[in-house]
Chain A
Amino acid sequence: MARNGVASWRRRSSDQSDDPSPCGSEDVHVLAVDDSLVDRKVIEHLLKISSCKVTAVDSGIRALQFLGLDEEKAAGDFNGLKVDLIITDYCMPGMTGYELLKKIKESSALREIPVVIMSSENVLARIDRCLEEGAEDFIVKPVKLSDVKRLRDFMTRDVGDRVRSDGEGTTHKRKLQESSDVSSSSPSVSSASSSSSSSSSLPTTPSRSPSPSPSVSLSEPSSPSPSTGSSGPCSPSSLESPTRRLKMTSCCD
Chain B
Amino acid sequence: MPRFHGQSNHAPVDIVNQLQKQYVDYLTSLFHEGVLDDQFTQLQKLQDESNPDFTVEVATLFFVDSDKLINNMAAALERSPVDFKQVDADVHQLKGSSSSIGAMRVKNLCITFRSFCETQSYEGCLICLQQVKNECAVLKDKLQNLFRMEQQIVGAGGSVPLMD
Contacts and interface: CB of A to CB of B under 8 A. Distances in A.
A3 B52 CA distance: 7
Interface string B47-82: 111111010011001101100000000000000000
User: For the complex, would chain B's binding face be called helix, strand, loop or mixed by DSSP majority?
Assistant: helix
Nearest to B68: A37
Interface string B77-97: 000000001101100110111
Contacts of A234: 92
A141 B52 contact: no
Contacts of A4: 159-162
A105 to B, nearest CB: 25
A36 interface: yes
B85 A141 contact: no
A31 to B, nearest CB: 19
Contacts of B46: 6, 45-46, 49, 145
A91 B65 CA distance: 17
The 8 closest A-B pairs by CB, nearest first: A4-B159, A233-B89, A5-B162, A38-B97, A1-B154, A142-B100, A8-B48, A2-B49
Interface of B: 38-39, 42-52, 54, 57-58, 61-62, 64-65, 85-86, 88-89, 92-93, 95-97, 99-102, 118, 154, 159-162
30 contacts: A1-B154, A2-B49, A3-B47, A3-B160, A5-B160, A5-B161, A6-B46, A6-B47, A36-B65, A36-B96, A36-B97, A37-B61, A37-B64, A38-B65, A38-B96, A38-B100, A42-B100, A49-B46, A91-B92, A91-B96, A120-B92, A120-B95, A120-B99, A141-B96, A143-B100, A144-B42, A234-B92, A235-B88, A235-B92, A235-B118
